[in-house]
Amino acid sequence: MSDRPSDRVVVALDVGGTGMKCALVRPDGVVVRTERHPTDAARGPAAVVGTILDVAGGLADKARADGLTPIAVGIAVPGVVDEARGVAVWSANVGFRDVPLRDLTVKRLGLPTALGHDVRVGGLAEARLGAGRGTGHVLFVAIGTGIAAAHVVDGTAAVGAHGAAGEIGHILVRPDGPRCGCGRPGCLEAMASAAAIGRRYAELAGETVDAPVTAAEVAERAAAGEQLAGQVWQEAIEALADGLASGQALFDVATIVLGGGLAQAGDRLLTPLRAALHERMTFHREPQLVAAALGDEAGCLGAALLALDAVGVRDHQEKR
Ligand SMILES: [Zn+2]
């Protein structure tokens, strides 16, 4: 076995509620192997942790069999993550409660391990390798069932004092708005997440729709000129613009990268959102608003970056 720098890889896992995206990634950011495995969260957190360790161990073994040297492990998980202690503190969809995932991985694989939050590492990847590349200050906003963000400065995502930085979905945008999953009315997430857009459309359409309409379909119907869809879409755009304007007031970033399912609406989202954000800028400098570039690989690539950072390796090309 050789340990020339070009043979080094990190083991990266992005653990979601339904599936795990896994990869071996070289320090230059090149992915040499990918795997997907079901999370099967219904089995309970202990079984999920067992699968994470098996998959990570299996990838390290495959790397060695190919003549590569695994040097570290990076794992991204959803929920509340204490990155400093390497603990998966809480997760609604995977069921983690204070799981010391970093120590368990170190014990099992004998490799330095970093644990990160899925949206924060996704932001890290977009900022360093994706749509935010070349700009030092990036706000990555993932819009799917919920809305969460990562503020990345010079290639590092802020974690917060309690591991909960970036909860932009719970910025209050409509005090008289619908109740959010967090319990408070009027959060951005309750107005403009993909789930909220579908719900709002169904609510206003009443009995005229019999199947749930997704946010993507609302965008499509709005573009086709349907008045109700247009109204719902515009409401969501206005709420998002309010949330992003707050984000810009706080962080003064060069680039806002939109990811998650809703960003797949492309220009149907970006064009009106740019205009609505522009209207809200007074003395603030207007950020570039762009769609994410890495798709659903961002979390896995971000986990790899975290692993590389943990062992002090930054070989990939990051232009700023
Ligand atoms: Zn909320």
- 191-200 pLDDT, tens digit per residue, is 999 999 999 9
Could you tell me the distance, in angstroms and rounded to a whole number, from the CA of residue 243 to the centre of ligand 1?
12
Residue list, CB under 5 A from ion ligand 1: 170, 180, 182, 187
Distance CA 176, CA 174 (A): 5
Residues making up the chain, counted from first to last: 320
Name the band, by pLDDT with cuts 50, 70 and 90, for residue 318: low
Q: Please give the mean pLDDT across all residues of the chain.
A: 93
Q: What are phi and psi of 281, to 5 degrees?
A: -85, 125
User: What is residue 56's predicted lDDT score, i.e. its pLDDT?
Assistant: 98
CA distances from 11 to 18, 134, 194, 268 (A): 20, 26, 31, 37
pTM (whole model) above 0.75:
yes
Distance CA 48, CA 13 (A): 13
- High-pLDDT (> 70) share of the chain, %: 95
- High-pLDDT (> 90) share of the chain, %: 86
Could you tell me the distance, in angstroms and rounded to a whole number, from the CA of residue 150 to the centre of ligand 1?
17
Q: Which of 89-98, 253-262, 308-317 has the lowest mean pLDDT?
A: 308-317
User: Is the per-residue pLDDT at 146 higher than 80?
Assistant: yes
- Asked whether the CA dihedral 147, 148, 152, 156 is positive or negative, the reply is negative
User: Is the per-residue pLDDT at 162 higher than 90?
Assistant: no
Could you tell me the distance, in angstroms and rounded to a whole number, from the CA of residue 247 to the centre of ligand 1?
16
Could you tell me the distance, in angstroms and rounded to a whole number, from the CA of residue 147 to the centre of ligand 1?
10
User: What is residue 316's predicted lDDT score, i.e. its pLDDT?
Assistant: 65
Concatenated DSSP letters of 77-99: ESSEEETTTTEEEE-TTT--EEE
Name the band, by pLDDT with cuts 50, 70 and 90, for residue 163: confident
**Stretch 165-184: mean pLDDT:** 94
User: What is residue 211's predicted lDDT score, i.e. its pLDDT?
Assistant: 74
Could you tell me the distance, in angstroms and rounded to a whole number, from the CA of residue 184 to the centre of ligand 1?
6
Judge whether 105 and 73 are in contact, CB under 8 Å.
Answer: yes
Most confident range, picked from 4-13, 85-94, 298-307: 298-307
Could you tell me the distance, in angstroms and rounded to a whole number, from the CA of residue 172 to the centre of ligand 1?
8
Judge whether 232 and 197 are in contact, CB under 8 Å.
Answer: yes
Q: What six digits make up the tokens of 260?
A: 């998650």
**Stretch 81-109: mean pLDDT:** 94
According to DSSP, the residues that pair with 24 across neighbouring strands are 11, 33
Could you tell me the distance, in angstroms and rounded to a whole number, from the CA of residue 168 to the centre of ligand 1?
9
Could you tell me the distance, in angstroms and rounded to a whole number, from the CA of residue 224 to the centre of ligand 1?
32
User: Is the per-residue pLDDT at 6 higher than 80?
Assistant: no
Could you tell me the distance, in angstroms and rounded to a whole number, from the CA of residue 32 to the centre of ligand 1?
39
User: Is the per-residue pLDDT at 182 higher than 80?
Assistant: yes
For the stretch 239-284, pLDDT in tens is: 999 999 999 999 999 999 999 999 999 999 999 999 999 999 999 8
Q: What six digits make up the tokens of 146?
A: 């919920």
Could you tell me the distance, in angstroms and rounded to a whole number, from the CA of residue 165 to the centre of ligand 1?
14
Could you tell me the distance, in angstroms and rounded to a whole number, from the CA of residue 148 to the centre of ligand 1?
11
Could you tell me the distance, in angstroms and rounded to a whole number, from the CA of residue 251 to the centre of ligand 1?
20
Neighbours of 102 (CB within 10 A): 22
Judge whether 12 and 301 are in contact, CB under 8 Å.
Answer: yes
**Stretch 184-196: mean pLDDT:** 96
User: What is residue 320's predicted lDDT score, i.e. its pLDDT?
Assistant: 41
Q: What are phi and psi of 51, to 5 degrees?
A: -65, -45
User: Is the per-residue pLDDT at 4 higher than 90?
Assistant: no
User: Is the per-residue pLDDT at 48 higher than 60?
Assistant: yes
Q: Which of 65, 120, 49, 81 is nearest to 299 (CA)?
A: 120
Q: Which long-range contacts (CB under 8 A, 24 or more apart) does 226-232 make?
A: 228/201, 228/204, 229/201, 231/204, 232/197, 232/200, 232/201, 232/204
User: What is residue 212's predicted lDDT score, i.e. its pLDDT?
Assistant: 81
Could you tell me the distance, in angstroms and rounded to a whole number, from the CA of residue 239 to the centre of ligand 1?
13
3-state secondary structure of 8: strand
User: Is the per-residue pLDDT at 319 higher than 50?
Assistant: no
- Strands 31-38, 19-25: pairing is antiparallel
More confident residue, 19 or 6: 19
Name the band, by pLDDT with cuts 50, 70 and 90, for residue 92: confident
**Stretch 309-313: mean pLDDT:** 93
- Could you give the angle at the alpha carbon of 134 between the alpha carbons of 303 and 159, nearest 5°? 40
**Stretch 144-162: mean pLDDT:** 93
